[in-house]
Amino acid sequence: MERKQSIRIQTSILNAAEKKALVWLAGKQPKWMTSDILTFIGTFGAIVIAAGYWLSNYHIGFLWLSSLGFVINWYGDSLDGTLARVRKQQRPIYGYYLDHTMDAVNELIMFTGAGLSPFFDLKLALVAFVFYLMLTLNVSINAHLKSEFRLTYAKMGPTEFRIIIIILNTLLFSTWDFIRGTRVTEFITWGIIAILALMYIVSVIVDARGYAKQDPLPEKTQNED
């Protein structure tokens, strides 16, 4: 059983520099390192993120642990596919399944961890998680229908989002004494939800228009009253 690999569309701000860094890192990996191990390192990073957020209920300093988790998650999640390509060991079917299954698991862990922190409401965090899943589902649908795997929205990819969250963690650490008890983080969460929802709606509209042109109504149906 063969599966045609989708074209990866990555136009994020840091894409060029990140790609060079990942290829360099892939060349430095020991022989025992595999793409599967890196995938699970990414999951470990997600667990560290969630643990840092949850432990911040006890001390604000654990936000730094959460930020470290984002670095670990980036390392495993971004490098697993690069390592396979550099070593020419791509497994389009198995790799696609494992990578995207674990992505969903990682996202659940991270969003739930954020919702269990003192900064974000769990219900709102899960709403954001749903919209994020809808975006990833749209990516997977497009990968199937037109063999395009789009990783970027508005010049922003997973790496840029990780950096934004690390910056947000830093701001929360430095300002928590001032904003504790206010609705600042609630407004931030609603802002994240609004951005994800807008990105999803725009993507669906654009994709639907493209598919409508690609797959028009049959002439007979168009002429019927």
Q: Nearest to residue 66, comparing CAs of 52, 54, 77, 55?
A: 52
Domains and CATH numbers, the chain: 12-214 (1.20.120.1760)
pLDDT at 222 over 60: no
Q: Summarize the confidence of residues 80-106 as an average pLDDT.
A: 91
How high is the pLDDT of residue 223? 54
Residue 110: exposure state from Cβ atoms within 10 A (0-12, 13-18, ≥19): buried
In this prediction, residue 218 has a pLDDT band, given cuts at 50, 70 and 90, of: confident
Helix locations, the chain, DSSP H: 15-27, 35-55, 63-86, 92-115, 122-146, 158-179, 184-214, 219-223
pLDDT at 125 over 50: yes
Dump pLDDT digits (tens) for 160-212: 889 999 999 999 999 999 999 899 999 999 999 999 999 999 989 998 999 99
pLDDT at 47 over 50: yes
